[in-house]
Each structure stands twice: as structure tokens, then as C-alpha cells.
Structure 1
Amino acid sequence: MQGRKIVRNNDINRNMFRIVRVFIVLFIILIGNLSYIQIVKSEWYDSNPLNPRIANKENSTLRGDILDCNGKKIAYSENTGKIVKRIYPYGMVFAQAVGYTGTSIGNSGIEQGENANLSGVNMLLHQLGPLEQLFAADRGNNVKLTLDAVVQKAAWDAMGNKRGAVVVLDTNTGAVLAMVSKPSFDPNSAAKNWESLRVDKLSPLLNRVTQGMYPPGSSIKPMMADAALQQNVITPDEKIECGPYYDLGNNQKIYEADNAVYGNIDLEEGIIHSSNVMFAGLAVKMGEAGLKKAFDRFGFNDGLQTDFAVESAHLPDFSKLNKGEIAQVGIGQANLLVSPLQMAMLAESFGNQGKMMKPYMVEEVTSPNGGVLQKASPSVFKEVTTPDRADLIESYMKNEVLRGTGRNAAVKGTVVAGKTGTAENSLGADHAWFIGTAQVGNKKISFAVILENSGFGGSEAAPVIRDIITTMLKED
């Protein structure tokens, strides 16, 4: 009997130890999850418009101002005594970049990304829970952006009534100076018109700069030129017979625009004339592995984390491309879709010694009494090419503006480098591209323009940049 009691006690002890171990594991998981929410995900929850504590905070706090780089108000709140009204003095001009806010429609753009700051949520005090109310201010923090109202308005005006996007970056820092998307909407009446905006087939709520996906067409050719040089597929002095078509075999041909015949030309002339024959042939020589390396090197496969929402490029499965599709990728077609922001960053790398900067829009956050709570620090996103190759490719792009397809972007008194693109669109007329860099006073800018269903990049997109640069020079 004594032996049986010992066995029974041992069984009970073992079961108790198992239960204790289970509870310990569950406790560790609970602590880990709480720590993850409080530390890692706290900023996400604080900026989420569905967070009831944030909503309550907004009801008791006057939302902070959003300012351009020169301190001009582009969003602010007024308390009329009956209601608190959010006002956007520029209406449609900044709509997608700055966004909207409302209890019935939530937030978007900077209004969403900086919701915690604008609502006056102090991240350290927020950890105190209800005690936060003892120290909280009655006004949110102000957010100063890198956007320049003059450049933004110039881009808006230059686009006219065309659909598409314009983005202008500071080449040396990555600061976003302008971000325009059309068609647009008026954030002052977004809540009132929400249902019609939400179902509008023209997608006015979509930020085409960061989330619009388009085939790049010939605007991808500077990257292809760099890749061909890097992979020793061609040298700067080597010449290739170009025109009127590149023969893929099996009755498949890729033609030059207007069936042009350029003769025996080098890489620079290939960029200047935007030769399809040259770049289709270079892509075939690089092959699917070489193309994949090029897109990887220029960051198209890298997830970009910044202070505004960014869509990643849609790249083909290079390992499954046939010869014709490889040639099409070389001229920016096939299953290849990129955003205007990515193409501006591509141009930026050639104008910045091979360095691609991380784009950002929030310059600083200040408290209601003017204290600086947060300040941007420019950083390199990727070093995508060598300084020598970057300078060489940019020199080709300068000559394209001087005597090639980008002549309509030329501005007297400054140096503009660019690459046109006319991207075929299976759903309608071609899209018009223009990307590049320009020296404007003591600042160097990088840019990308796309005009949907507008035709030739040189005649449609290039003049948009010319008008923006002209305005910036007058302002400077």
C-alpha cells in the first residue's frame, strides 16, 4: 500500500509540474505579446484612426497644423465654438499627399501617418494610460513638411486637365518637394462626397505618385544602359546598327519609333534617340539573370519604409521570360509596372553619384509652444551604381535634352538631364513619361512625370518639367 501511495503522489506531482509549465509558457507568451503591442506596435496603434483612445483625444484636442517647407499652412483646424473644422486652404492641390481626416471617413496621407503627432499624443506619456490626461496639451503638434507650396502649385498647373502624376525630389537629400496626383478631390468636402469619391472610376483618392503602377517605357533605358555597361555587354564607344527593327525570329520584330533608321550608333546616341533596337538587343544579351540583377541593384525589389505609403514595383518572373519578353523588358514593356516615385529615385541616382536617397516628406514636428520634437535626417537608401557610371549616364541624359527626344524640357540658363518614355498601354492610348534631374539655383532636383493616355513623352510630359523648373527659377 505504501508503494502505491508513493506512485500516486509521483503522478500527481508530475501532472502539477506539467500544469505549472503550461501556465509559465502562457504567461511568457502573454508578456511577450503585451510587450510587442506596447513597444513594437505602439506607433502603429497610435496612428490608427480606429483606435478609440485616439478618437477621444481628437475630440478634446485641437488638431495640429500641417505646414509646407516655408511655414505656409496647408491644413489647420478651427474651433467655431460649435464644431471643430479641419481646413485645407489649397483644396485639391495637396489632396493625396496631405490626405484627409474625419470621424466618418478616417484618415489618409500625412493626416494618417502623423495622426498621433497631430492629435497631440505623446508616445512616452501614452504609456501611462489614463494618467496621460494629467499632462496632455489641449492642442496637437505641428508637422512641417518638405513639400514646397510654390513647386506643388507649379506642378499642378503644368499638368492641366491631364490624368497622371508629378513628383519632384531634392536630389541630395531625398526630400519630396512636390507630389501631385490627378484627378484629385477636395479634402474640405471629402466626408460630404465620400460615397461618390469611393466609387469614382477615375480613382481620385489614389495617390498616383506612390501607388500608381505603369509600364515605364523608354524611361527605363538609362538603367538598362548602366546595367549593360556593368555587365560588360557593351562599352561606351562600341557601336550597334540600329533600325528599323530588331529581329527576334519567328516573324517577331521590335521596331524603332516611326520605323526610324539611326545607323551605326554608340550607347550615348542610343539614349539620345531612344533606340528600341539597341536596348532590346542589350536586354537579350544580358538575359533574364542579368535583367534581374539590374532591377535588384536599383532597389525595385526592396521594400521602401518611409513616412508615407509606398507601393512596390510589379516585376515579371524573370526566370520564365522568353526571348521576346526579355527584349520587351529592355524597352520598359512586358509585365513590368513601376510607380512615378521609383522612376524619380532612379533618375536621382544618376544625378547623385550613384546614391539613391530615401525619400521623406516630414521635415520636423514641433510642439504647440514651438519646441522641436522630431527632425528629419536624410539617409542613403541604396548605392546603386558607381560615381563614374552615374556621371556618364547623366551626361547622356543631358544630351537627350539638348538634341534628342527631350528637347521640350530645355530651360535657358540651367542644365536639365532627362529621358522620355512612351509606354504602350493595353487599355488605351500610350502613357507619356519624362524623368531626370536639373540644377535649379543652388539646388539640384530629380523628377518624374507621367501623363496617362497622352502619347509621346517628349511632346507631352517634358514640357511639364520645363514649366516647373521655370517657376522655381523665378522664385529662386
Structure 2
Amino acid sequence: MNWPELNPEQIPAILRVLHGVFLGLLAWILFRSWRVGRKTKQPGKKTGHAAYSLTLMVILGLLAAVFVYQATWQLTGFARPQFVSFMQTYNRRPYNPAENLHLGAILDRNGLPLAYTAPAADNRRVYPLGPAAAQVVGYAHPRFGRAGIESTEQAVLNGSAMSTGDARKQFGRNVLDRSAIHGGDVRTTLDARLQQAAFDALKGRKGSVVMLDPSTGQVLALVSSPSFDPNDLSPATFNERLQHDSPLLNRALMGLYPPGSIVKPLMAALALDQKQSPVFDCPGEGITAGSGNQPIRDSQYYAYKRQGRVWPGHGRIGLREAVVKSSNVYFAQLGMLLGPDVLNQAALEWRIGQRWILRKSSVGAPLQTVAGNFPALKSGQLAKIAQVSFGQGELLVTPFHMAMAMSALAGKGVCWEPSLLMDEPARPLNPWFGADSANAVIGMMRDVVRSGTATAADVPGLSVAGKTGTAQNPSGKDHSWFVCMAPAEQARIVLVVLVEEGGYGSQAALPVAVSLLKLAKNLGYFRSAGGG
């Protein structure tokens, strides 16, 4: 429903006019009935009592309907954010009930405010982190509506959740006697310090950061850049800038990207679950999957070529070395060995083609991801199978999808439903991998940090297991990925960083992750876990 088109400032006057019309008709009917009743009945002449009675019932019914409608408008309308928004914007009566509505605060896990109402500023909503948390906290604005947590938790924030009978009675009394209505506070799982630091680390570049606690599914940080300032919304935020840098796009939840090499740990765990740990020859010139297709090569081939040299290849390597060296040639062959049926089933279990719901809403849209894309593989499609097996081709994921996948590895094969509120119970999902397979892959990712492509992530005093990723982008420079968990032995944090068109994963995404790992270490997130 488009509330502003209803001309809400005119509705109270319209209701009063209807009241007057119906009361006038009712008085006229009663007067006519009284006059007719006084006349003496004459044989063969109808007095019209039946017609008057029917008309009277219709008028009374319409009058009652108007009263019920106005009562609903006044009392239950406050459970709808659209009602409150247009009341705040368009209502020109001396008494506006929406002005007495004080929305509750949105807090981080430590009680720091992410959003609150400022009574001294006409109950305006204030967002201390500004653009850093705008994509997840959202906004509550009389003109532009609601988004994010402001939308999903609106019933609690505006006091209309009314979970008990006493609460419902008090809410009704507050509306009728024009008392202030105070909403409830919402405590999220976010850490404002990590949220701000992640946003700052992206330095305005297009990208996203997701930080999770893999033991509970709690979201510690959810950042998208560029962003917008919810303290200063304007039509330009929703119009001009959309064409430039898409500040309203939550890249962590809504951006779809080829995962590139960060899918290789998942492929390794899948292979181990299938009792496969083959050795493949990985020649410098690469391999061709099927006839007539372009060769699949490792990144070193192109680096050597730019220097005028010939890449000799990795030679014969096994699964662990293929993860550490990030060999496309190896994983292309591994995917063809596993076959389409195994890969299709894995994509279902990993929920690539499904939406992850972070928070449902009883009155609005949930806070959720878009669905990723995994092509339906068939026998004989060797090129397509090979491409998705090292994270390219038609395979597309959101950063949040990859955070959940890394959480499954960190949880020894089990991940937990994501949660954004502290009072949500932790709910485990069915295992994605066997515990032995997950442990083995964590060891491989630890070697990536010790001696592979992510040595810069070897934070002193902390055992980090990670994987860099460079995903080919058909419309520009390669995307830069880095995924990691720490401490490797008993992870307390899973971290995913994406920098659009950032080039190699070790160049753009990895430094962002390192800065956040160091901050998390200083904040005590790893204090009770194994170090390194």
C-alpha cells in the first residue's frame, strides 16, 4: 500500500464528515419512523415500516463500520511502520500520536548504541557509526521508510510487539490518553569496534567484510562499501548515487561474485569425504577440459609470460600441495574426477543456490542474502565442471555464503544458523563435511599462511588458517578475496574479505583481514582459545 497517496492529513476530517452524514441520516430515519408510527394504519395501505427498518439497519451498520475503522486506524496502526512514517510526515493536526512514539535503541553486543532516538531533536534517529553500519542497521525515516534491523525489529522498537496482555492494554491506554510510547531496545551480535574498523580498512573501495563466530553463528561484523550516511538521507542517496557506486547495495548479502580460489578448500574437503586424494600432473602449459576449449592454466603461467619466461608447471602434486600452491590445473582435474553428481549434491548441501536468512520479520521483508548460482552439471560438460571446480565459470556466491562455508570448516564440518540478535538461540545445521576432512583442510589452510600465498597473514601469537583468492571478472580487473579462521585449532572468528577489482587476493583483501585479526586479538576475542 502506498500510504502517502491516501492523503492521511485529510483522513481525520473525512471521518468526521462521514460521522456527521451518518448521524444526520440516522436522526432523519428515526424522526420519519416516529411520524409514521403515529399515523393510524389504514386497510390496504403500507406504512413503510419494513423499508424504514432496513434503511435504519444499513445506516447503523455503516456508522459502526466507520467507528471500527477509526479505532483500528488509531490503535493497531502503530504496529505498522508505514503508518507511523506518514503520521510523522503528513499529519497536520495539533495532536499527532506519532510524535509521542519514542523508538527503542539498537545496541551492539557490548551495549554501545548503533541507533537511538534523540528527544531534543524532535525524536530524530541518530546513527553513531554512520555509513559504517548503515547496510545492516538500516534506517527509520519518515519519508524514506525503513531498512535493515530498523525494519525487521520495528515491532519491538516502536513498542507494538505487545507480547503480553498487560503490554497490549498499556499500549492502548498510552494511545488513548496521549501518553508517550516507549519502544524496546534491541541488542545485536555486532561489535561496533570491529564494524567501524572493517569499514575504515576498506578505505572507500567497493567491497565487503563478514565476520562470524563459527561456534554460534553470531554475526560480529557485516560491512559493505561504499555506503551511505543514515543520519543524512536525501533523494540523492536513492537516485543520483545509485547510478555511480550503488551505496544502497549490501555487497556482503546481495553482491554475487565468482569465488575463485577460495572455493578450493571446500573442494578439498569434498574430495576427502569421497575418499579421494589423488596426485595429478600439473604442466606449465595447463590442460584442456574437453575438445575445442581454452586451456586451463595456473596463475604462474601468466606471471612468467609477462616476464618473457616459460612456466615449468608444478609437476605431479597431491591435494595438500595443490591447496597451498592454489593450482587451478589440479582442481580442474579433481572436479572432473569427482563428477557432476557429486558436485551438484555438494552445491545443494552448501546452500549455494539458496538464500541465507539472517533475521526474519513479522511485518516486513527479512534481512537475507540473494541466492547464489551453481549450474546444473551434466556428464560430458567437462569444461563447465572444470571451471566451477576452481571457482570460475557460472559459479557465483555472496561473501556471506563463503563466510558460512568457512564456518562449516572451522566447526569441524558443522555450521550454525546465522544470528543477528543476542537473545537468539544457537541452532546447528546438518554437517557439511566429516570432522576428519575438515581438520585436514584446516591444516592445509594453515600451511597456506605459513608457506603459501598468504604468509602476510601469519599474525604473531595467533594461528591463522586462510586462503587467498583471485577471481576473474569479465567486466574489469580481477576481484580480490581472502578467507580465514583463527585460531586454527579452535576458531573463534571466521573472516571473509572481498575487494572488487582489487587484483590478487594477497594484495588487496589480505591486508584488510590482517588489520581486523590484530584488532580482534587486542580486544580479547582469542584470549581463551589456542594461540599459535
Q: What range describes the TM-score normalised by the shorter chain of this pair?
A: 0.7 to 0.9
Match of 1:246 in 2: 287
Match of 2:182 among 125, 131, 139: 139
Q: CA deviation at 1:442?
A: 8.8
Q: Which runs of 5+ in 2 are unaligned?
A: 1-76, 89-96, 302-310, 360-366, 525-532
CA contact under 8 A between 2:84 and 2:98: conserved in structure 1? no
Taking the aligned partners of 1:276 and 1:199, their CA distance within structure 2 comes to 36
Q: CA deviation at 1:184?
A: 0.6
Quick check: 1:289 aligned with 2:289? no
Residues 179, 414 of structure 1: alpha-carbon distance in 2 compared, 3 angstrom cutoff: same
Partner-residue secondary structure (3-state), 1:425: coil
Give CA deviations for 1:159-210 in whole Å, capped at 9, x if unaligned. Answer: 2232100010011011111111000110001246444466333110111111
Residues 251, 156 of structure 1: alpha-carbon distance in 2 compared, 3 angstrom cutoff: closer
Aligned-residue CA RMSD (Å): 2.7
Taking the aligned partners of 1:444 and 1:466, their CA distance within structure 2 comes to 15
Partner-residue secondary structure (3-state), 1:317: coil
Match of 2:485 in 1: 437
Taking the aligned partners of 2:123 and 2:252, their CA distance within structure 1 comes to 31
Taking the aligned partners of 1:326 and 1:214, their CA distance within structure 2 comes to 18
Match of 1:214 among 254, 257, 263: 257
Query: TM-score with structure 1 length normalisation?
Result: 0.82
Q: CA deviation at 1:51?
A: 4.9
Quick check: 1:183 aligned with 2:226? yes
Q: CA deviation at 1:287?
A: 2.2
Larger RCO: Structure 1 or Structure 2 (Cα < 8 Å, ≥ 6 residues apart)? 1
Residues 193, 62 of structure 1: alpha-carbon distance in 2 compared, 3 angstrom cutoff: farther
Residues 67, 332 of structure 1: alpha-carbon distance in 2 compared, 3 angstrom cutoff: same
Match of 2:156 among 114, 117, 124: 117
Q: CA deviation at 1:305?
A: 3.0
Amino acid at match of 1:255: R
Amino acid at match of 1:243: P
CA contact under 8 A between 2:162 and 2:168: conserved in structure 1? no
Give CA deviations for 1:341-380 in whole Å, capped at 9, x if unaligned. Answer: 11011111111111111111111xxxxxxxxxxx221111
Residues 382, 442 of structure 1: alpha-carbon distance in 2 compared, 3 angstrom cutoff: closer
Quick check: 1:255 aligned with 2:297? yes
Higher strand fraction (1 or 2)? 1
Give CA deviations for 1:89-126 in whole Å, capped at 9, x if unaligned. Answer: 11111110101111111111111111111111124469
Partner-residue secondary structure (3-state), 2:131: helix
Match of 2:330 in 1: 278
Give CA deviations for 1:228-254 in whole Å, capped at 9, x if unaligned. Answer: 22234x22xx42211321222335310
Give 1:318-467 correspondences, 5 Å limit: 318-319=377-378, 322-363=381-422, 375-439=423-487, 444-467=492-515
CA contact under 8 A between 1:280 and 1:330: conserved in structure 2? yes
Identity of aligned residues (%): 34
Match of 1:174 among 205, 208, 217: 217
Match of 1:155 in 2: 198
Taking the aligned partners of 2:189 and 2:157, their CA distance within structure 1 comes to 17
Match of 1:80 in 2: 120
Taking the aligned partners of 1:109 and 1:86, their CA distance within structure 2 comes to 14
Residues 412, 131 of structure 1: alpha-carbon distance in 2 compared, 3 angstrom cutoff: closer
Match of 1:317 in 2: 376
Partner-residue secondary structure (3-state), 2:519: helix
Match of 2:527 in 1: none
Amino acid at match of 2:124: K
Residues 438, 197 of structure 1: alpha-carbon distance in 2 compared, 3 angstrom cutoff: farther
Amino acid at match of 1:314: N
Match of 1:33 in 2: none
Give CA deviations for 1:6-40 in whole Å, capped at 9, x if unaligned. Answer: xxxxxxxxxxxxxxxxxxxxxxxxxxxxxxxxxxx
Match of 2:17 in 1: none
Q: Looking at CA atoms only, which structure, 1 or 2, has the larger radius of gyration? A: 2
Q: CA deviation at 1:131?
A: 8.1
Q: Which runs of 5+ in 1 are unaligned?
A: 1-44, 364-374
Match of 2:101 among 38, 61, 66: 61
Q: How many residues align?
A: 418
Taking the aligned partners of 1:437 and 1:55, their CA distance within structure 2 comes to 48
Taking the aligned partners of 1:54 and 1:76, their CA distance within structure 2 comes to 20
CA contact under 8 A between 1:167 and 1:179: conserved in structure 2? yes
Taking the aligned partners of 1:441 and 1:284, their CA distance within structure 2 comes to 31
Match of 1:50 among 82, 89, 113: 82
Match of 2:143 in 1: 104
CA contact under 8 A between 1:151 and 1:178: conserved in structure 2? yes
Amino acid at match of 1:384: W
Quick check: 1:472 aligned with 2:520? yes
Residues 193, 320 of structure 1: alpha-carbon distance in 2 compared, 3 angstrom cutoff: farther
Residues 322, 469 of structure 1: alpha-carbon distance in 2 compared, 3 angstrom cutoff: same
Match of 1:267 in 2: 319
Give CA deviations for 1:52-88 in whole Å, capped at 9, x if unaligned. Answer: 699677543101111111111111111227x221111
Q: Which moved more, 1:53-62 or 1:406-415?
A: 53-62
Taking the aligned partners of 2:491 and 2:348, their CA distance within structure 1 comes to 29
Taking the aligned partners of 2:478 and 2:350, their CA distance within structure 1 comes to 25
CA contact under 8 A between 2:355 and 2:368: conserved in structure 1? no
Residues 106, 126 of structure 1: alpha-carbon distance in 2 compared, 3 angstrom cutoff: farther
Taking the aligned partners of 1:360 and 1:319, their CA distance within structure 2 comes to 36
Q: CA deviation at 1:309?
A: 2.1
Q: CA deviation at 1:409?
A: 1.6
